[in-house]
Amino acid sequence: MDAGRQIEHWFNHYEKDVFNYLVYYTGTRDVEDLVQDTFLRAIYAFDSFRSDANPKTWLISIARNTAIDHYRKRNLWEKIKGTLIASQEETNSNLTDHLYLRKEEHAHLYQSISRLKQSYREVVLLKGIAELSAAEAANVLGWSVSKVNVTFHRAVKKLNEMMKEEMPNGTADRQRSS
């Protein structure tokens, strides 16, 4: 199968995984261009794909590098964090309390993930969001499997601490005042 057809096949199977990974990695749902760039880069780099490798892992690795390059060039990380904070504070009176709380929890999760140190953030995104195995995440990051597992454990612990510290002043108070 030629590169174009193979990438098209993978696009049909993995586009949603790449999209979701990039949404969590960037903190915004406006990632269509990054998804497109990821698959274009995959076409150009197809010759470097090892036939024994997992295509999803390879594509997520390309997506990660595409996002890093994008934000290096544009230096938009601070803008993204500002958008996340603004979206967390935004209210929509047409939402039911349940839907509002869920939206707020997701915004809070995005904000908390974005505040993790980079190594924690990357392993949470790869294992927790993109659902890669420890071995696949290790391949993407260039780490050992044990380092991925230890870092993931520490990152989740830190993320839980951050969420617990901030949630009592967030959703619980708003729910009572409704």
pLDDT value for 129: 78
The DSSP string of 137-175 is HHHHHT--HHHHHHHHHHHHHHHHHHHHHHGGGTHHHHH
pLDDT value for 20: 93
Higher pLDDT, residue 116 or 91 = 116
121-159 pLDDT, tens digit per residue, is 999 888 887 888 999 999 999 999 999 999 998 988 888
Give SS3 for 10.
Answer: helix
Task: Judge whether residue 178 has pLDDT over 50.
Answer: no
pLDDT value for 88: 46
Task: Judge whether residue 93 has pLDDT over 60.
Answer: no
Q: Tokens 């830190």, residue? A: 158
Q: Name the pLDDT band for 170 (thresholds 50, 70, 90).
A: very low
Task: Judge whether residue 167 has pLDDT over 80.
Answer: no
Domains and their CATH numbers in the chain: 3-74 (1.10.1740.10), 89-177 (1.10.10.10)
At residue 5, what is the residue type? Answer: R
Higher pLDDT, residue 77 or 36 = 36
pLDDT value for 101: 55
Task: Judge whether residue 80 has pLDDT over 50.
Answer: no
Higher pLDDT, residue 151 or 103 = 151
Q: Give the HSE-up count for residue 121: Cα atoms under 13 Å, Cβ half-sphere.
A: 17
Residue 153 CB neighbour total at 10 angstroms:
11
Task: Judge whether residue 82 has pLDDT over 70.
Answer: no
The two three-digit tokens of residue 132, written as one number: 């890669």
Report the percentage of the chain scoring pLDDT > 90.
40
